[in-house]
Amino acid sequence: MNISEPKAEQAIPAIWRQAFRPLFLMGSIFAIFSMVIWALVLTGNLSISPYGGVYFWHAHEMLFGFVAAIIVGFLLTAVQNWTGLRATHGKSLIALFTLWLAGRLLLFINPTSYQWLTAIVDISFLVLAAIFMGQLVLKVKQYRNLIFVPVLILLVAGNLLTHWSVLAQQPEYYRWGAHSTVMTITLIISIIAGRVFPMFTANGTKTEKVANLAWLEKAVIGVTLTIALLYLTNLSSYLPKTIIAWVFGFAALCHSIRAIRWRPQVTFGTPLVWSLHLAYWFVPISLALFALYFAGGNISASTALHGLTAGAISSIILAMIARISLGHTGRSLQPHWSMKIAFVLIILAGLSRLAVQYLQAYTSVNMYLVAAIFWVFAYLIYVLGYWKILTSPRPDGRLG
């Protein structure tokens, strides 16, 4: 590992030694804040006027405030393991985090005379992250991992579209940008899951690692990339719905076969593994719901989309950051028992959001609020349990 001088490293507060530390912690705290605000708005207990309006703010900030922070925290931590070079830390990490935080503040405060500044600051976070990552990968000519740089740029493109909807007062660009971003994030999940799920499963359950099938991995990544590009190019709005339905149906099938091959049945005694497997099933389920939607079935696009956001993305993130936060701080991969509750709550949040379309008409209970409450408490358990872990030096005395 090519790292800086140990004494200089030890002088850096622990939270600034690796990108996952501030971005996992503050990204989760911000997400809790955002979800509470959203719940208060939905129930009529709060009225706010953020950048782009409250509906824009909710979708944008969950994607580019919360999810983007977690993705960047993960990639800028993983790239150190991949390349053997010291990744973003210290002053560079503080600058990156400050850019992220400034974007969150500007979108919430909404200085109407400087909306262009809000857009520039917010977009710059992902651009800078891509630069930090790309330069390390290129330095060691590790082109296999260079794939994540253009993927980050796809997120930049989605963010550009959402901001353009505000700056040019063209609302249709908001849906275009937000939906393409969700599909790009699903692509990121698909790539990372294929790399780590078999290993995590084997290590966590002490069983033999399942070898990936090359043709299946190519099919999964290829069809998921196709979906992301269909949305990013906006072809999803123009192609015959029957064709798009078949694409989503094929994607659901490929992801299902993949998930079954990973042997979820051996994971039941290992929370850090069954949480990942259970969360991943939201991907093929949601893709199947999209197939039904485009085929004219009784399913809304919003329900299918929230299967990916409130279901797959939210639950996979919680399972991943719970594991990474332990492993990369030199701790045993044995989470506190409360995380089992958090994993169950985040799955219930996703299921509750999926059920809104069908149950809301038959109950006086606000199912949107139920889903939000489950979501908030799941991440609150993580924040409370991992605060000290993420802000303290490694117990083994190693750097990072």
Task: Specify whether the CB–CB gap between 115 and 45 falls below 8 A.
Answer: no
For residue 3, pLDDT beyond 50:
no
Which parts of 206-306 are beta strand (E)? Answer: none
pLDDT at 1: 44
- How far apart (Å, rounded) are the C-alpha atoms in residues 65 and 57? 10
DSSP string, 280-307: HTHHHHHHHHHHHHHTT-S--HHHHHHI
Predicted confidence (pLDDT) per residue in 195-207, tens digit? 999 999 999 999 9
Residues 255-278 as b/e (b if ≥16 CB within 10 A, e otherwise) read bbebbeebbbebbeebbbbbbbbb
pLDDT band at residue 326 using 50, 70 and 90 as cut-offs: very high
Angle at 44 between CA 39 and CA 47, to 5 degrees: 90
What crossing angle do the helices spanning 68-83 and 90-109 adopt, rounded to 10°?
170
pLDDT at 4: 45
For residues 141 and 192, which has the higher predicted lDDT (pLDDT)? Answer: 192
pLDDT at 72: 97
pLDDT band at residue 141 using 50, 70 and 90 as cut-offs: confident
**pLDDT (average), residues 71-85:** 92
Q: Tell me how far apart the 2 most distant CA atoms of the chain are, in Å.
A: 63
Tell me the three state secondary structure of residue 40: helix
pLDDT at 6: 64
- How far apart (Å, rounded) are the C-alpha atoms in residues 364 and 156? 40
Residue 270, both tokens: 């290992």
Mean pLDDT taken over the chain:
93
**pLDDT (average), residues 324-338:** 93
Q: State the virtual CA torsion across 198, 203, 204, 205 in degrees, nearest 10.
A: 90
Residue 144, both tokens: 């296999």
Residue 314, both tokens: 């939210």
For residue 53, pLDDT beyond 50:
yes
Number of helices and strands in the chain (H, E): 16, 0
Least confident of 183-197, 321-335, 359-373: 359-373
Predicted confidence (pLDDT) per residue in 175-229, tens digit? 999 999 999 999 999 999 999 999 999 999 999 999 999 999 999 999 999 999 9
**pLDDT (average), residues 372-394:** 96
- How far apart (Å, rounded) are the C-alpha atoms in residues 66 and 2? 30
**pLDDT (average), residues 329-355:** 95
Q: How many CB atoms lie within 10 A of CB 206?
A: 8
Which residue from 118, 114, 237, 123 is spatially nearest to 179, judged by alpha carbons? Answer: 237
Task: Specify whether the CB–CB gap between 74 and 148 falls below 8 A.
Answer: no
Residue carrying structure tokens 């850090």: 272
Q: How many Cα atoms are found within 13 Å in the side-chain-facing hemisphere of 313?
A: 26
pLDDT at 274: 96
pLDDT band at residue 2 using 50, 70 and 90 as cut-offs: very low
For residue 399, pLDDT beyond 90:
no
Q: DSSP H helical segments within 206-334, as ranges?
A: 214-232, 241-261, 271-280, 282-294, 301-306, 314-327
Residue carrying structure tokens 């028992």: 337
Predicted confidence (pLDDT) per residue in 151-168, tens digit? 899 999 999 999 999 999
